[in-house]
Structure 1
């Protein structure tokens, strides 16, 4: 069984993010990393291989040249190969365009099971898994906390407010996993060295048969109208204990509708 894992190169959460003149996130002006939520998807794929349920893991990412850093991190954790969709025309692509490109790439890669994180840590829209499954005509199980492969199906546990559900879908299928699915492993030194020798293939839009007009800012179904910088932090309120600190703190919380 072949597993395809979707991964994304995202800006560091602790960095200062800026927008370019075209109101797109300036990804070249900030350090990035493999999305933390995608690490859980990588971990689940590796566990399926270790359990004997799968034989191959291929990673797929779409992004700027530096996105290869995220690919190498995933390969250092484990897996066999990766595909990087790289094209200047992809700048400004929204979720609809991204699902179009990834669907075409997955079709070319081949897969039995697609695993991805429940969201990316930059946009946090959580819509791509469902969009991608729709384009590929796959059953989708989203927000899985655990998964296993049995016969020709994938069985997932999904937590809700009231219960834990078990959802079973026939293969091929797409599953998105949450951060409760299991702690992701750290790459070993041996894995980091081995990752440098694993194949990473670069595909362009032409390789996928997609016209540039269907993606990028011009092909986006959404538009960013305006952006503004985050307001500076204001000085906080300091409460000095003079015997009535508890009451004053309660009054402050109530006045700010925090109680």
Structure 2
């Protein structure tokens, strides 16, 4: 039986762009270019490695987002994933992490899975809780923050590195795992992969396909509320110390005055 791997990916604003908030205090995604979250590239890479090591496996990439989120799916497909699912619905606007995990869980169940692979966090929200929430909603084990992962004998196992030690962890399939940016460099899409991606299937689902109501997601169904936002203050001019024999003293007084030393 084929090993069904689903990789959750996110289309995020380019961190190098000038990002703003819209009038409803959500991120204005139309005002900045987007791309596949870099941390999710590691998840795609590990899913592909697991599939390559298996006798029979299929990798599906899944995203929830606006029309442009298909660009993230195409990137993953060009890396080598087999097919993609895009959940898009106007009522998803403003969905928080709780709503996102609900939509992802419904979509994963509809797609069918043995293993779900996620990045350690998104590069925009950086909360890192979606894998745990997803596992809870699916009712399966979670093995998170892995720097090494493999599947064998109906179980997924890997290494989790801490500040002072590493540990081996394992869970029976089906399961949810997340991988860190130390799990292995993500492959660069080849020209052949880019061309092949154009022919790979991309299914589009909306809330009705997942038996969800608008009130369960979006700003209306959000568990968290943004009350106010403010622009980051402009960088102030630094202090220049002219060394005329007492530069070290002035530097020490400057650092001490700010309690750095």
TM-score range, shorter chain: over 0.9
Residue 16 of structure 1: how far off its partner (Å): 1.2
Question: What CA deviation, in whole Å up to 9, does each residue of 1:76-102 have, x standing for no partner?
Answer: 111100000000000000011101100
Change over 3 Å in CA distance of 1:144–1:54 after alignment to 2: farther
Match of 2:189 in 1: 187
Q: Once the two structures are superposed, what CA deviation does each residue of 1:153-175 show, in whole Å capped at 9, x if it has no partner?
A: 00110011221000010000000
1:126 aligns with 2:155: no
In the comparison of the two structures, how many residue pairs are matched?
259
- The verdict on how the C-alpha distance between 1:247 and 1:52 changes in structure 2, with shifts beyond 3 A counting, is farther
CA 1:258 to 1:50, structure 2 compared with 1: closer, same or farther past 3 Å?
A: farther
In 1, the alpha carbon distance for the partners of 2:244 and 2:207 equals 67
Aligned counterpart, 2:160: 158
Select which of 98, 110, 113 maps to 1:111.
Answer: 113
TM-score by length of 2: 0.96
Q: SS of 2:170's equivalent?
A: strand
Seen in structure 2, the aligned counterparts of structure 1 residues 147 and 53 have a Cα distance that, compared at 3 Å, is farther
Q: Residue by residue, what CA displacement relative to the aligned partner does 1:124-169 show, whole Å, maximum 9, x if unpaired?
A: 1111111110000010011111101120100110011221000010
Q: Distance in 1 between matches of 2:254 and 2:186?
A: 41
Match of 1:34 in 2: 36
Shift of 1:239: 2.5
Q: Deviations over 1:18-67 (max 9, x none)?
A: 00010001011111110010001011011112222651100000001110
Paired residue for 1:172?
174
Aligned-CA RMSD value: 1.2
Distance 1:174 1:34 in 2: 20
Q: Partner residue of 1:46?
A: 48
CA–CA distance in structure 1, aligned partners of residues 60 and 173 of structure 2: 17
DSSP-derived class of the 1:126 partner: coil
Contact 1:3 1:54 in 2 (8 A): no
1:18-33 mapped onto 2 (5 Å cutoff): 18-33=20-35
Shift of 1:15: 1.0
SS of 1:252's equivalent in the other structure is: helix
Query: 28-37 or 241-250, which moves further after superposition?
Result: 241-250
Using the TM superposition, name which of 132-141 and 155-164 deviates more. Answer: 155-164
Q: Secondary structure at the match of 1:154?
A: strand
Residues in 2 aligned to 1:194 and 1:239: alpha-carbon distance in whole angstroms: 59
Matching of residue 222 in structure 1 with residue 224 in structure 2: yes
Return the alpha-carbon distance in structure 1 between the equivalents of residues 13 and 145 of structure 2: 23
